[in-house]
Amino acid sequence: MEPLLLDRLLLIGDLFQRDMARAFDGTGLTTARVHLLWVLQHAGPSTQRDLARLCDVTPRNITGLVDGLEESGHVRRTPHPTDRRAVLVELTPSAATTMAEMQREHAELNATLLAAVAPKDRAALERGIAAIASHLETLVAEAAEDRDRTAS
Amino acid sequence: MEPLLLDRLLLIGDLFQRDMARAFDGTGLTTARVHLLWVLQHAGPSTQRDLARLCDVTPRNITGLVDGLEESGHVRRTPHPTDRRAVLVELTPSAATTMAEMQREHAELNATLLAAVAPKDRAALERGIAAIASHLETLVAEAAEDRDRTAS
DNA sequence: TATTGTTATACTCTATAACTATA
DNA sequence: TATAGTTATAGAGTATAACAATA
């Protein structure tokens, strides 16, 4: 029996995550830490509170992730220029280089995978995936609202 | 800037996972445990060793997951009929019902998401995703081989 | 001798709650 | 009074290594 489209989409996410975890095996980096570095690369120096929002985890969790990344030399904590309660977290130069390289490889993988698709199917594929991602986002947001309303 | 196709695929996997975790919030079920139940539903009664292979985790990990699922009444350990070292893990009747319902909802979500795609794009979308999943599977398998060869 | 599962140990990710320092 | 971050505590998922029972 053919797998459902949804099953294939989930398989893709799973394969990607496993592959990334394996790529960083031995470097001390994990999925959660790489995600934080990724967010930092796109957002620039940020407070831990902002990182917590962007990663959708608790502030306490960010403390732990930043502790680990600081120890491994990937990020630095610097004082916030105007708010003495806050710290700014930023990539170290070497981590910034690593992340730029990772972004390049990410774009390359995107191109490789797209090249595996018949040219005549590519435009429809892009449209279809955009529609599905958008629709799923709506569904999840509605489910979250329902849950919040029930909880209150 | 438009997100890459790959980014949208990863977003879909992420949204789905979050949504599932939220759906099971409060029931004691987690992503890892639901995954094990899902595997059990498809494979039928299995030894822990087989479950470890199917879930791609260590046998020790399966011990922990089965302990939790046994306590919550989702699975039962029964003696293996011919191998006294092994146990067979199987769904309880109520968990089997739950999983059948989950599978129905899964198929329904698949249909809902497909309905969000323009009819003329659906065939190309299916072909494209199948091609990408297949290609990515090959890439990951090759990467794993490289790693194993380097390790030896 | 090899395999199945478990005990022992450890680390990461995650959360909630209480607390400190600052705004 | 509210906010940023940390300490304290806890639980789940994961792994490796050593071990018992059985094949």
Q: Tokens standing for B37?
A: 């139940």
Cα A35 from Cα A41, distance rounded (Å)? 10
Contact between chains at A116 and B127 (C-beta distance less than 8 A):
no
pLDDT tens, residue by residue, A41-77: 999 999 999 999 999 999 999 999 999 999 999 999 9
**Hey, which residues does A125 pair with through a beta bridge?**
none
The per-residue pLDDT of chain B, averaged, comes to 94
Q: Which of B41, B68, B42, B16 is nearest to A5 (CA)?
A: B16
Higher-pLDDT residue of A37, B21: A37
**Chain D nucleotides near the protein (CB, 7 A):** 3-8, 12-17, 21-23
DSSP E strand boundaries for chain B: 46-47, 75-79, 87-91
Cα A139 from Cα B151, distance rounded (Å)? 44
Q: Which nucleotide comes closest to A77 if you measure CA to C1'?
A: D5
Q: Tokens standing for A147?
A: 């849950």
**DSSP notation for A47-74:** EHHHHHHHHTS-HHHHHHHHHHHHHTTS
- Please report residues contacting nucleic strand D, using a CB cutoff of 7 A: A 47-50, 59-60, 62-63, 66, 77, 80, 83, 85-87; B 30-33, 57-58, 60-61, 64-65, 68, 82-85
* pLDDT (0 to 100) of residue A145: 79
What is the value of pTM for the model shown?
0.93
Indicate if the pLDDT at residue B75 is higher than 60: yes
Indicate if the pLDDT at residue B60 is higher than 90: yes
Helix (H, G, I), strand (E, B) or coil at B78: strand
B151 pLDDT band (50/70/90 cuts)?
Answer: low
Q: Tokens standing for A139?
A: 């569904």
